[in-house]
Structure 1
């Protein structure tokens, strides 16, 4: 995969906090959410005068998480610090409100059901909500609180959808959704070893047998989660990584959706690059282009089936590596 001048575009006005790739095999459509609440869509196949970039303002604060719906090709869902979850129809440019809590601030979400009708939403104050899009209104179905000070990311297990993973403060924990309760919820497993705040945690995409985390102590860690009921999963990798990014969006390593043992993460190295690591800690590849990539891409995502990598930076630009 390579990067050219026509594969770099400014899609939002401010810092990018979330990036998503449409799963289509035939078209390259990417999205980014920024600090101000903007959502930018970029159709790389559109050669019109505006460059195929369309900007919307569905939120009033940071858009911390974006996902295209695997079940509905036109739907782009987003959560924000403004306490709302919206579903955008990209064919109509309409962003309907799905869930709102004016007293809360949302950090992340994931799809709970295969048809994407139900979701799990993480609140910054460590509450977890279950939302059913088929239910009239904008309230949750269930609301509980995990045993942590905050939740930065929430992620469902890819095989057993009864279990979900949260990261925040120094805590990385696996919970049983069937045990969700208003307070005092205890995890089935705690992933220890992080000494400062954790930026994110994600299950590996096929089996969920691995979890990758990133911590402000300047380490990326990979855990063995093949047994969900292991009280303290084994650390398989502690990779030294410069995560000191107070002037940038925090790094979030994410798994390659096409393989179980590699993850992509931004880098502070020069020349600027986006790294692919094996779970053993081996650097598999560094994506770089000194002419077109001159900034740190903190938020990165890989296409589920195509050779396509998108990186977002703190000035609202997306960089798309493709073959």
Structure 2
């Protein structure tokens, strides 16, 4: 027999009293007209029980706060007592109204807290605020680790444009053979779930004594992973050590951008080229923030202000200037020594620019990759000659729309602004200069990696680059779909070795290619890796170190297996 709930028992009692009252008044026909079910009809109705359907599990955004749900006033009323006096009934109704007003006030307060929590944070934030889910001891350890890095300068080194340029093919082959010997022996030496959600970006800190890697995820979280740090000892109930081989190293999670939803995905991470004491992060929340290792303060240095998504950032070698690409086809020049309102925005494309790269040896040459299927090289010195229509007040950044830029490119001075353009069959997802500022690698949705090698004499002229085909075409599956981060070919920033780049493979490997398109190594470990290593980066000075991350937030360190391999 099915057990009735308290509400159903109260309802049955009310029905019985009403039926008895109507029968006493000789209104049996009214009882039938009311449609009050008899015991037999109720039993038949209860016999028809629908099978339980498993509810579809929907992933909620993390920033959603539970607020009191509105309930039916009818269901919350107490049982009506027919013998209740008017005074008691009035008192009961008054108490009910007070309770309903109190619940409505609590609901409004909870909704206001949820609204405030979902707003971006534009003010300065300390580590304790960023790491709100961590205890004070972990925050102190992170602060000490970052301040220790600030005691040493790590200037970014750029390569020589003429390095590794050989007329003799045998010398090229010898460099390639040496590089293969050093990279093919890399194995998985550490792995950990550094962030809670999908990895979107990564950067390798230049400190040589440890492997400190920064990862940005889908929900604005910045994971800092000391990949070879001794793991914390874990004991069982008997006090014996547990062999912990799933997690290696130590990591900290900072909520660098807010709210913690997909609207705050960290699109790129860059270290200050002059000393690596600051880390810059760009996000889909339309802002760029800078975390200082010295002060432990994260501050917002730029925001689009109009909801335009920021796709990528890059800094000049001296660390004083930044270029920012966005989803509206624009590129913003920001002088970090000035107020952000003095930035200049140029619409260089009629569609999204997904990547922007500054030439490390010739910083005035910009490389842009756009959804309009083109890769372009710009001379930033010429962009400064585009005149604005009116005086600049200094309160709003100067903006030069696509029509204005297009007209400028038709002028005599403008012809030396756009120096080169190469079309692809589909959207160009990324394009980067190598450390020498000579080679270019592009990634496209047409499942092709393209490589160019530009002679130094070409940069010295003010004429457009001569039309040329790519040095190499590499077939590479770039169809990541909706649930994987876009594959981007990333150059090793080490200028002392033969130029090479890393890129994830849809077959769960980490591929390494040379600047000429030769396959150097294909790193894989099916026993430990069963996901696409979509995001990759390399150590700036140590060849035998690379890192990768997947869609679950799990990250892998690849190195020579001589120090605590998993």
TM-score (structure 2 length as normaliser): 0.53
Say which of 432, 436, 453 aligns to 1:224. Answer: 453
Question: Where do residues 177-188 of structure 1 align in structure 2 (5 Å cutoff)?
Answer: 177-180=380-383, 181=386, 182-183=400-401, 184-185=405-406, 186=409, 187-188=418-419
Aligned residue in 2 for 1:319: 556
Deviations 1:76-129 (A, max 9, x none): 1111111111111245543111111221221111112x3312211111211111
User: What is the alpha-carbon distance in structure 2 between the residues aligned to residue 176 and residue 79 of structure 1?
Assistant: 24
Question: Where do residues 1-323 of structure 1 align in structure 2 (5 Å cutoff)?
Answer: 1-4=186-189, 7-47=190-230, 49=232, 51-60=249-258, 61-90=264-293, 92-103=295-306, 104-112=308-316, 114-136=317-339, 138-169=340-371, 170-180=373-383, 181=386, 182-183=400-401, 184-185=405-406, 186=409, 187-192=418-423, 194-206=424-436, 208-226=437-455, 227-228=458-459, 229-246=464-481, 247-258=483-494, 259=497, 261-269=499-507, 272-306=508-542, 307-323=544-560
Give the structure with the larger strand fraction: 1
CA contact (8 A) 2:330 2:349 kept: no
User: CA distance change for structure 1 residues 90 and 46 in 2, over 3 Å: closer, same or farther?
Assistant: farther
User: What is the alpha-carbon distance in structure 2 between the residues aligned to residue 275 and residue 257 of structure 1?
Assistant: 16
User: CA distance change for structure 1 residues 161 and 73 in 2, over 3 Å: closer, same or farther?
Assistant: closer
Count of aligned positions? 315
CA contact (8 A) 1:19 1:301 kept: yes
User: What is the alpha-carbon distance in structure 2 between the residues aligned to residue 294 and residue 75 of structure 1?
Assistant: 34
User: What is the alpha-carbon distance in structure 1 between the residues aligned to residue 556 and residue 341 of structure 2?
Assistant: 36
How big is the shift at 1:281? 3.0
How big is the shift at 1:231? 4.5
How big is the shift at 1:47? 2.7
What secondary structure, in the 3-state scheme, does the structure 2 residue paired with 1:178 have? helix
Quick check: which has more Rg, 1 or 2?
2
What secondary structure, in the 3-state scheme, does the structure 2 residue paired with 1:139 have? helix
User: What is the alpha-carbon distance in structure 2 between the residues aligned to residue 263 and residue 46 of structure 1?
Assistant: 27
Q: Which stretch shifts more, 274-283 or 15-24?
A: 274-283
How big is the shift at 1:268? 1.4
CA contact (8 A) 1:130 1:140 kept: no
User: CA distance change for structure 1 residues 196 and 158 in 2, over 3 Å: closer, same or farther?
Assistant: same
Please give the root-mean-square deviation of Cα atoms over the aligned residues, in Å: 1.9
CA contact (8 A) 2:206 2:541 kept: yes
User: What is the alpha-carbon distance in structure 1 between the residues aligned to residue 419 and residue 517 of structure 2?
Assistant: 27
Give the structure with the larger helix fraction: 2
What secondary structure, in the 3-state scheme, does the structure 2 residue paired with 1:14 have? coil
Deviations 1:150-195 (A, max 9, x none): 1111001121111100001111100111222413254211022x11
Q: Which stretch shifts more, 278-287 or 153-162?
A: 278-287
User: What is the alpha-carbon distance in structure 1 between the residues aligned to residue 535 and residue 359 of structure 2?
Assistant: 21
TM-score (structure 1 length as normaliser): 0.91
How big is the shift at 1:293? 1.9
User: What is the alpha-carbon distance in structure 2 between the residues aligned to residue 38 and residue 15 of structure 1?
Assistant: 10
What secondary structure, in the 3-state scheme, does the structure 2 residue paired with 1:3 have? strand
User: What is the alpha-carbon distance in structure 1 between the residues aligned to residue 367 and residue 349 of structure 2?
Assistant: 12
How big is the shift at 1:223? 1.8
User: What is the alpha-carbon distance in structure 2 between the residues aligned to residue 59 and residue 77 of structure 1?
Assistant: 12
What secondary structure, in the 3-state scheme, does the structure 1 residue paired with 2:381 have? helix
CA contact (8 A) 1:25 1:305 kept: yes
Deviations 1:46-98 (A, max 9, x none): 33539421111121311111012232333111111111111112455431111
Which 5+ residue runs of structure 2 have no aligned equivalent? 1-185, 233-246, 259-263, 387-399, 410-417, 561-566
